[in-house]
């Protein structure tokens, strides 16, 4: 099966963002500075890329994934300090991802964000199963998100 250039672009973007964030993390570590790692997950690539770039500019080491399974793979490698994930995504929703990450790395902080009205129902099931996650409403102003993440990662 042939893949067009536009279909191949997301994985190329993902690799580029991953390489840049890893480089930033290594540079920060080598300089003795702490750089909190944040994994941004959203199936809306433009939103995910923009959020990741804003967080990197703000001094975080942000990584990006466009689906739950890729996010799980990256989480296993990166052990992020924070998972910031959209709730409504195909195949694996953000709550399912959050539960899997919480089980893998209980110390990872998890923030869900969504602009969808059905989110409360998805969260209700997780709550019934004993999981509680913070939910931020989309859209969120970048400065408010940065401020929230700084509080979360600095204790």
pLDDT one digit per residue (tens) for the chain, 155 residues: 333 334 445 567 667 666 766 777 777 777 777 789 999 999 999 999 999 999 999 999 999 999 999 999 889 988 999 999 999 999 999 999 999 999 999 999 999 998 876 677 778 888 888 888 988 888 889 999 999 999 999 86
Q: What is the biggest distance separating any 2 CA atoms in the chain, rounded to whole angstroms?
A: 49
The domain containing residue 20 runs over which residues?
5-153
Question: What is the domain count for the chain?
Answer: 1
3-class DSSP state of 111: strand
Dihedral pair phi/psi, residue 139, rounded to 5°: -80, 150
Could you give the count of Cα atoms lying within 13 Å of 145 in the half-sphere of its Cβ? 28
Full-prediction pTM beyond 0.85? Answer: no
CATH code of 35's domain? 3.40.50.2300
């Amino acid at each position: 099966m042939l893949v067009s250039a536009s279909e191949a672009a997301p994985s190329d973007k993902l690799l580029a963002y991953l390489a840049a964030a890893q480089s930033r993390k290594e540079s920060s570590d080598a300089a003795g500075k702490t750089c909190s790692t944040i994994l941004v997950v959203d199936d809306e690539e433009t939103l995910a890329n923009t959020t990741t770039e804003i967080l990197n500019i703000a001094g975080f080491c942000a990584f990006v994934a466009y689906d739950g399974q890729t996010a799980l793979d990256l989480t296993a490698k990166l052990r992020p300090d924070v998972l910031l994930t959209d709730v409504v995504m195909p195949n694996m929703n953000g709550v399912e991802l959050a539960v899997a990450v919480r089980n893998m790395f209980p110390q990872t902080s998890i923030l869900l964000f969504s602009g969808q009205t059905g989110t409360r129902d998805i969260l209700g099931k997780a709550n019934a199963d004993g999981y509680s996650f913070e939910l931020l409403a989309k859209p969120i102003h970048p400065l408010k998100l940065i401020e929230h993440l700084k509080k979360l990662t600095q204790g």
